[in-house]
Chain A
Amino acid sequence: AQSVTQLGSHVSVSEGALVLLRCNYSSSVPPYLFWYVQYPNQGLQLLLKYTSAATLVKGINGFEAEFKKSETSFHLTKPSAHMSDAAEYFCAVSFTGANSKLTFGKGITLSVRP
């Protein structure tokens, strides 16, 4: 069975600082990996996704993530945080196959201090 682990529930950074949100997955077959963002009172929107092409994936709003098979990780980074990045971030995994579905992590809230 596939699963996603997002350690911690809250990360706080200063404006301009590096953002690092961690995601580890387990999957018995090559995974598809996603990061979604949810701004207050809104649905989720896709930030980026990995589907077995380049291991470094660039997304919207300056975010990127690197797929590391040896570490079973897909951490999300942004070099310089902006106040508008404050939101909840979800990592998710799926895989190809008849019984596949998207499995979400519990989410992590990012706060950005002025």
Chain B
Amino acid sequence: DVKVTQSSRYLVKRTGEKVFLECVQDMDHENMFWYRQDPGLGLRLIYFSYDVKMKEKGDIPEGYSVSREKKERFSLILESASTNQTSMYLCASSLDRVETQYFGPGTRLLVL
């Protein structure tokens, strides 16, 4: 079974703080993704990576950056958290870019 884990289920941060969200997958998948999920908006792609040290912007990359130093780990970074980044963040991985994505449990981030 594919397992995708995220470092925290819940996080509370202050405006302006630097925030790191970590994601690890154990199936040697090439592709990893970060989404944010907001009520009524569905899932929106922030960034994805198709190989180590490679990254591509998704639909809403502003205010975020990512890091993929190892194949199994994909980090999302909020350089200076703002209240409009309060959301549920979901990480996913897949073997192929168009194939089934496997999701982690999500991190619910509250920025005060």
A-side residues, CB < 8 A to B, are: 9, 32, 34, 36, 41-46, 49, 90, 94-96, 100-102, 104-107
A90 nearest CB across to chain B (Å): 7
For the complex with contacts A44-B92, A106-B40, 7 further pairs of A-B residues with Cβ separation under 8 Å are A9-B40, A34-B100, A43-B103, A100-B97, A101-B45, A101-B48, A105-B42
21 A-B pairs with C-beta separation under 8 A: A32-B99, A36-B103, A41-B105, A43-B90, A43-B105, A44-B43, A44-B101, A45-B103, A49-B100, A90-B42, A90-B43, A94-B97, A96-B98, A101-B48, A101-B97, A102-B33, A102-B98, A104-B42, A104-B43, A106-B40, A106-B41
Q: Which of A34, A43, A100, A104 has the most CB of B within 10 A?
A: A43
Interface size for B (C-beta < 8 A) is 21
Given contacts A34-B100, A94-B98, contact A43 B42 (CB under 8 A): no
B30 nearest CB across to chain A (Å): 14
Give a binary string over B42-61; 1 marks a CB under 8 Å from any A CB, 0 the rest: 11010010000000001000
